[in-house]
Amino acid sequence: MQLEVSNPKLGKILSDPDKLIKKVGIEMSRMIKRRFNEMKSSPNFKAYVSYGIGKPHPLTGNLDKLYGIYLNKNYRLIVEPLIENLDFSFLEKCKIVDIKGVVDYHDGKIEWLIP
C-alpha cells in the first residue's frame, strides 16, 4: 500500500526524523514509523484493517470518512483511504491512504498533536 501526505506542513514533519521527534517525542515517533511500515507492507487497506494491527477503526462526526489507528492510550494516527466507497468490501481496492496527522479525539475533544 502507498502512503501519501497531502498537507505540506505535515509532510515536512513526517519526512524529517529530528522534527518528528521534537514534535512528538521519541516513543511516539517510533510508533508512527512502525505504523507506516505496517501499512506499506499491506497489499491494500482492507488487508491492513483485517490484520487488526493498531486497531484501525472508522471514525464519525467531524472525522467522518477517516480511520483512526492506535498509537498509544490517547493518540491515534488519522488516515483517509483514497477510495470513493468506504464500505468494508470496497476497501480491497484501496491501495493509497492519505496521512492526516495525529490526534486525541477522546472525551468530546479533538486535539491535534500534528500537524
How far is Cα 49 from Cα 70, in angstroms, rounded to an integer? 12
The pLDDT value given to residue 114: 86
The pLDDT value given to residue 101: 95
Which is the CATH superfamily of the domain at 2-114? RelE-like (3.30.2310.20)
Domain ranges of the chain: 2-114
Strands 2-4 vs 96-104: parallel, antiparallel or unpaired: parallel
How far is Cα 53 from Cα 60, in angstroms, rounded to an integer? 20
Low-confidence ranges of the chain (pLDDT < 70): none
How far is Cα 33 from Cα 36, in angstroms, rounded to an integer? 5
The pLDDT value given to residue 90: 86
